[in-house]
Each structure stands twice: as C-alpha cells, then as structure tokens.
Structure 1
Amino acid sequence: MTSGSRSATIVRVFDALLDGKDNYEADRAVRDRLLRLDPSFACAAWDMRAFLARVARYLAGQAGISQFLDCGPALPVGENTHEIALRLNPESSVVYLSADPLVLAYGRALLADNDRTHMAKVNITRAETIFADPVVGKHIDFDRPVAMIHVGTLHHYPDRFDPWQAIADCVERFASGSYIVLGHMVDPGPGHELADFPAQVSEIYADAVDGYGAWFRPLDRVKAMLDGLEILEPGFVPIADWWPDGPRTRPQSPIQRLFIGAVARKP
C-alpha cells in the first residue's frame, strides 16, 4: 500500500515492523523512527509473534484449552492463534477481538470459510462490550475455561481506560481454569540504564500515531493486572525468554528487555 496522506496506526506500524504489505508511508515513517532509536525494534515485534505461538501451543496442547479470545490481533503475518489452536485441537473455537477497521475487514475475509474462528468488533478495555457481543456469545461458552490473550495491546491505552479493571472484569466471569496471557512494555524506573528509553518511544508514538500512544508502566503496575491469579513459571520475563525454543544467541536490545510477558491461570 502507498499513501502520503493517511495517518499512521498502531496496527499498520506493527505490520511495517514485520515487513508486511498492509501499511502506508506514514506507518513506515514511524517504523523508521523506532528503528533509529533501537535497530532491533523489529526483532521485538517478531519476539511478540513467537511468544504468542509458544503460548498458543502450550494452552491448546498441554493445558487443554479449546476456547480463545485474542484481543487486538495483528494483520496476518506469520502463524496466527487459530491456526495453532486448530492444528492441536480441531474442535477449538477462536474469536479475535478488535475495533480496528482494517483488522476486522481482513479477518472477516480470511476467515469467511472457517466456522471455528471469528471476528468480533468490541472495545477490548470494556468487558461489558465483550460479553454482550453476539459473536462472542455464540462461539464462546463461559461455563468452560477460556484463554484471553492481551499481548501488545494494553500498553497502547492510557490509565484512564483502566486496563486493570478491564482484565479483572473478564476474569470475574471466566470459569476456573481459565488463562490470561499478558505482554506489556515496562518502565524500568529512574536510575536504570534504560530509564530514558520509554519516554523516547512514547514521544514517537504521540507525535505520529493516530489516536494511540505507548504507555510503559512500572513492573508492579503490570504485575497488578494479574492480581489474584496463579502465575505460571517462569513468571514475568522478557517475552523472548518465556519458554524459548532454543538458547539466546545475542544480547537483547532495549525494547526486547522492556517488553515482558506472563501467563496466569484462574484458580
């Protein structure tokens, strides 16, 4: 895609970082600014995709989860949650939740012939819109365990959207044995060698991305999103270090060190 007039969006900037085809000049300009700040920013984007794949394999293959709510999905680059879940359990049901028009349009077109995977237009920070959505209600049985995936989503919403309550409201209605998957950028705090990095990233998003920014939060505030849940080993770690497929072969860049993830289970 090419256009000089469209504003950048979070979804298309991410697509550009992954060398996808569904982005515009404005999105690539943001990508280039991020890469000048940290040349491994694209590696962090791929880390996120790999983390999602490992988590989906674990949940569908070992934890026995057959219902997935994937919040804020990216444009289709690489293997997606439904492909992994359905490969391991053909009876899985996956609903992608998004309010992004491009994601919804692509998803509905790609999944038109897939009766186990669906798209729902909802506000992912408002649980009532999720539970009231007819697509969600038709394909997810909340009397059984479900996995909700929030990777790379909530750090693009300021505190006034109350992501802590957004997760808590969902967990309250989920069955015992349900899972929350969280991936969030963390603020290391003053005195840390990367103390200035979050503000630099946030400035790039605030300057150029339409409607959303980047909110790095202190580790204790990120951990608080999973209060009351059982945190699986290895706990909160950089997403590339959550049960990696092999040994690390190079040092992690600033954004890779500050993009952490965890998987939690409702008792």
Structure 2
Amino acid sequence: MLFIALNAYVACAIAQKDCNKPLYLTFDTGHMEIAPLVADVLNRQQVRVTFFAANERTKQGDGSLGEHWAPWWHARAAEGHEFASHTWNHTYWRADMGSTESPSFRVRPSAGMREGQDSVMSAADYCAEISLASDRLKMVTGKSPLPLFRAPGGKTSPQLIASARACGYTHVGWSPAGFLGDELPSETTSNAALLRKALRDVRSGDILLAHLGIWSRKDPWAPAVLEPLIVGLKQQGFCFRTLREHPQYGAGR
C-alpha cells in the first residue's frame, strides 16, 4: 500500500512538473485565522503560491506582518512560496489627484492609524507604502519579494499603475474566472456554489485570488473549498506555479 501511494505521489509530481496548463494561485492577507489551515493544505498538496501581504488587522496577534505572524511567513519561504506587497496599510486607491507631471492620489487605508480615513498621497508616498510592506516581507521571510504589488480591492488607475512602475513595482490583478469568491456573503453564495463555479470556469494561465481570512464571510471559504478545488483542478490537468514563473510577471521578464 505504501509503495502504491508513493508511486501515485511521484506520478503526480511528474505530471505537475511537465504540465502545460499552469495556474497561478495567489493569496492576499486578511484576518489570518485560516492561515495555518491554508499552509497545511498547500504543503499536503505540494502547491506553491504567491502571497500579497499588507499589515492588516488580525484576529490573533499584532497584524498580519507583525511579530506574532513572522514565524509563519518565514516557514512559507522555506517551503518555496513567493511574496509581494499588498501596500502596508491595505491602502485603497479612491481617485487620481494632482496632475500628470505631479500625480497624487486620494486613498483610504483599511488598517493602521488612519484606518477608514481619506487622505491624499503623492506618488512618492504611495511608492513608500508599497515598499514598506515589501521590506517587511524581506525581513520576516529572509527572501527578496517579487517586484510586484496588488492594490487592495484591485482598485487602480492608469496613473497609479504608471507611478508604481516608475519606482519599480508592477501591478498584478487576477483573472475574471480567478476571483474565487471568498469575499462574497456566504448567506447568498455558498461554498459549494463557489467550488462548482471555479472548477467549471478556470482556464489555463489564470491568476486565482483568495484571502487568508475575510471578516465578513460567516461560513469560511478555505476549510470547505481550498483543498477540493486544488484536487479538482489537478484532476483536470492543471498545475500550480508561482508568479516568479509567470511569463509576464516573472523575475526574468
């Protein structure tokens, strides 16, 4: 029985290595309650992902990039996962301000000292907001993050993206079918429905998005959906890659 199981594992590993139907599973931070479960599933399934991290408020500890969670991030780096910025204070873009020559942005962080308050950031300030999360990730993982960022909510403008690119960061969103729905109300969108939709709609090359805990969802997504989704997608011939291996966003681009 052990021999059969080992052969199955090796066969799966070879299939994943040779697979020509890649998917790019990404996780944004959140309240982190399900982070240990996510790590267990990814390790068991031998799936490597890209984490976009901000220092968000958490159910346990001092923020998702605080000292409490630092060992968790370090362990994920040792497993081969990749990392990128999600802005330090999970700062939402709200509107462009200023001019093309001197851009600025109206923003609203959902974490930190100015949580929920609108303010204006210069392009340099916004770049610093991206870099702060990236620098902290390097500190807690011991690994250089990718030169990428994801704006909270995926909310951007051409000027915001250009300003970030000018200071070395490329924005990464997600594919339409890659929105896995863990942000949606569980009262109206069940985990079973989200699983069916993803297994039906995801296509090769898609960037998939999930979170390490959503405050508003009463029926958590990860315990019910994450592992069945990974298993089901593997059965369809998909493999999982990090954004370091993505043809557009990879480190060698």
TM over 0.5: no
Return the index of the structure with the highest Cα Rg. 2
Higher relative contact order (CA 8 A, sep 6+): 2
